[in-house]
Amino acid sequence: MRVFFIGFGQAGGKIVDMFLAQDKKLGSTSFRGIVINTARTDLMGVKYIPMEDRLLIGQTMVKGHGVGTDNVTGAKVAADEIDTIINAIDKRGTHDVDAFVVCAGLGGGTGSGGAPVLCRHLKRIYREPVYALGIIPAPEEGRLYSLNAARSLSTLVNEADNVIVFDNSAWKNDGESVKSAFDRLNEEIVRRFGVLFRAGEVNKFGVGEMVVDSSEIINTLRGGGISSVGYAISEAIPKGGRSSSKSGGGLLGGLLGKKDKRQEPHIDITSSEDKSAKIIGLVRRAMLGRLTLPCDYSTAERALVLVAGPPTELDRKGVEKSKSWVEENIAGVEVRGGDYPVDSGYVAAVVLLATIGNAPRIRELMELAKEAKEEVVRSRERATSSMFEDGIDPLFE
């Protein structure tokens, strides 16, 4: 799948930077992208995106200093400079892309306000689907961030073809520093979507028996709303076995997991039934484990199942049984799936749950935002009351 990433704001820019770094490391050309910000210093923080693909907007309004967590201003700046943004996207080349993905942290100002504006105009101009990858803040990050995220997400679901949500609170570990947490969370995002978007690529193993191409992903996400992604990984061989890859990791070894350092060729002693059971177990772990957005998976309208790993460990029957199990456990009946052979010592399962009907974390976010809005109103009322006595004439009117 050829994806054009647009990183809006600091969080979105860092994620796109990591996607392009992964693409460069793998020697692939599947991904391209630009980053957009109102703060000059944030644009300097990315490493793998050329300077010509870093766009500073809002200079006449905020002079390169950012919008200060004000997503209303962020939206206004994006709307005022939308022609500049579209020109930068066109200059990078869009004739062969399969989809646009706008990445943004929804709790801040620039990405939170600008992403919905950009999605609206991209949908108006291009025929390709426009998806948003939105990161929602943890409650402890502050009520202002929750209010921003709620307003942005409520707008995004109407402007993007689908919003894939990543919840920081579900992934942050106790006692972890903010920087290390965000770096790790960004890696989790890129790993999951890197596997998903690369499915169907032709490598030295050819393609899978059941190919998952861009049309499968597009049809899964076509219902709109919000979506979540599950992921599980396992060693490709049981303990006491041998590495399934002479290279110990190969092209996508780093994508699926830690490289296997053993160098001997693999002796395939695993039966078809064992492979099938292993794949079914992986898919169950991916769907029932930690999702990018904790949700009631039984309310999903559509799903996509992808199993990636060395060809000797992939099993058609296992993928088909996994799809049947997922279909039994979601609200809808559309479950697509397939396999993706890669050079790795690991097997990974990705489950995309699309158009989710119930996510308690989103309800909690909306409640926090409602409380924050009421507090803002009360604060304004307090500000209007004066400590100074009436009846004292000012020096001038």
Pick out the residues of the known binding site for GTP: 10-14, 109-111, 141, 168, 186
- Structure letter (DSSP) for residue 300: -
Binding site listing: 10-14, 109-111, 141, 168, 186
The three-state secondary structure class of 386 is coil
> Can you tell me whether residue 368 is helix, strand or coil?
helix
Sign, CA torsion 334/123/43/145: negative
The answer for residues whose C-beta is within 8 angstroms of residue 121's C-beta and 6 or more apart is 82, 85, 86
DSSP annotation of 98: S
* Contact assessment for residue 157 and residue 225, using Cβ atoms and an 8 Å cutoff: yes
99-105/130-136 β-pairing: parallel
10 Å Cβ neighbour count for 40?
14
How far apart are alpha carbons 120 and 364 in whole angstroms? 26
Pairing assessment for the beta strands 3-8 and 54-56 based on DSSP bridges? unpaired
**Residue at token pair 């996994």:** 322
